[in-house]
Structure 1
């Protein structure tokens, strides 16, 4: 007796031609994954492009000492009142090993050729291997609240220099050429002799001393900077007589913090 095969049986299924769509059951999923991949790559590329081109002016806000700014945070320059220009470039390897934003920098101008390394971290900036020549205008820009301005040139060698809120380490020395200083904003110029600034870090503090080069045992200014950002400055009687523009009384110590 002959048996009949009904529709839908195994034999009929095997006899039907294969459905092409059935051979690619995950085609839609693969397409979605490709779109997600391409979209992610595009977003990352856009974010990197934005990061690389962040202008330096975003972080260097307008200040009285700033005459202009150009470039990006990775490689840029800023003009300083008095004619100097400070340029910097990102140091990626040192940034990774130091866990901060590290740059190599150099300041140039008529009487300025000073360079070194800088490490920016939350709460402060550390300068290393500072070496070269600088004029008084650059000093006035770095310390705008000093209370006096000097028309002098100095040769600096500081292996480490960190002054800021909660931080204070100074090591090195600076030779200050003869010149003139005045109390700001309109004091009369006072001639100044050649002087030597020496800084030594001992224990948890940095001891700083300024004396005439011709009379190195004659202390004019004696200062102590603590690692926590505190400082104490004393103007000696000799210093008060030779440097009256500082505005400090002879023998009186001023204590504060950065």
Structure 2
């Protein structure tokens, strides 16, 4: 009877996994995984805290478009030429997913109320869901090399625009109120009627058309943006008469690269 009793006890012991060496190893592995997760969370939190305290002035371009920079990379602000203020807040999760510096931003001033999202990478900037109102100083802030300046109110709605690097594109619409524009080199200001700029991305090219807001089939200027950043701008004869400050002859065109 003794051997039967021993076998019964051994069988009973084998049904208790908590006492087996294999169960002990599993428990130790689980503890190590939990400890590793806590360590990684701690390292991640420390990294985020370090990034959040970087001064905004250390990463924001100090170009002529801004008048001052304050805050940190997490929550910062910059004054824009013309008196508006750009404010942003860092989006860490979106930055991680897109491998770029992601922010939610707003721009506010006397005639400016804009907002949207942006992804800023080493060679490109992508803006999503940009909408709101602005004045002509926004054009100068975005394209400081233009040979003219404008004084007019604008309404913007751009679902997506990417500039710099590969895959450049733009989609959206800009509507202006009547205003004036003048050459930077000097000269009289030209009255400008209300205009509409429409941007459509078709295939590998973004096509932009500028026309009077009340006569949208009367094209004043066309622009074609290729994915590599090449831009072809053509001024129609009607556009040359209405927009002499652009500096192109009737039917003239110019090619550049962003």
With 162-171 and 122-131 compared, the bigger mean Cα shift is at 162-171
Larger Rg: 1
TM-fit CA distance, 1:213:
1.1
Deviations 1:34-86 (A, max 9, x none): xxxxxxxx999987654321111111243222111100111100001111000
CA 48–148 in structure 1, closer or farther in 2 if over 3 Å, else same: same
CA 159–110 in structure 1, closer or farther in 2 if over 3 Å, else same: same
The residue that corresponds to 2:151 in the other structure is: 151
The residue that corresponds to 1:239 in the other structure is: 239
| Residue ranges of structure 2 left out of the alignment (5+ in a row) | 1-41
Question: What TM-score do the two structures reach when normalised by structure 1?
Answer: 0.79
Give yes or no for contact 2:219–2:239 (8 Å, CA) kept in 1.
yes
Equivalent pairs counted in the alignment come to 218
With 92-101 and 78-87 compared, the bigger mean Cα shift is at 92-101
The residue that corresponds to 1:170 in the other structure is: 170
The residue that corresponds to 1:102 in the other structure is: 102
The residue that corresponds to 2:78 in the other structure is: 78
The residue that corresponds to 1:115 in the other structure is: 115
**CA–CA distance in 2 between the matches of 1:47 and 1:109?**
34
**CA–CA distance in 2 between the matches of 1:168 and 1:79?**
27
- What is the correspondence of 1:24-103 to structure 2 with a 5 Å cutoff? 50-103=50-103
Give yes or no for contact 1:197–1:208 (8 Å, CA) kept in 2.
yes
Give yes or no for contact 1:101–1:119 (8 Å, CA) kept in 2.
yes
Question: Does residue 250 in structure 1 map to residue 250 in structure 2?
Answer: yes
The residue that corresponds to 1:10 in the other structure is: none
The residue that corresponds to 1:182 in the other structure is: 182
Question: What TM-score do the two structures reach when normalised by structure 2?
Answer: 0.79
CA 47–156 in structure 1, closer or farther in 2 if over 3 Å, else same: closer
The residue that corresponds to 2:191 in the other structure is: 191
**2:54 is paired with a residue of what secondary structure?**
coil
Deviations 1:136-165 (A, max 9, x none): 112201110011110011100000111224
CA 224–249 in structure 1, closer or farther in 2 if over 3 Å, else same: same
**CA–CA distance in 2 between the matches of 1:154 and 1:100?**
30
**CA–CA distance in 1 between the matches of 2:201 and 2:51?**
38
With 88-97 and 229-238 compared, the bigger mean Cα shift is at 88-97
| Residue ranges of structure 1 left out of the alignment (5+ in a row) | 1-41
The residue that corresponds to 2:215 in the other structure is: 215
**2:117 is paired with a residue of what secondary structure?**
strand
Give yes or no for contact 2:86–2:107 (8 Å, CA) kept in 1.
yes
Give yes or no for contact 2:169–2:227 (8 Å, CA) kept in 1.
yes
The residue that corresponds to 2:160 in the other structure is: 160
**2:64 is paired with a residue of what secondary structure?**
coil
**CA–CA distance in 1 between the matches of 2:225 and 2:107?**
25
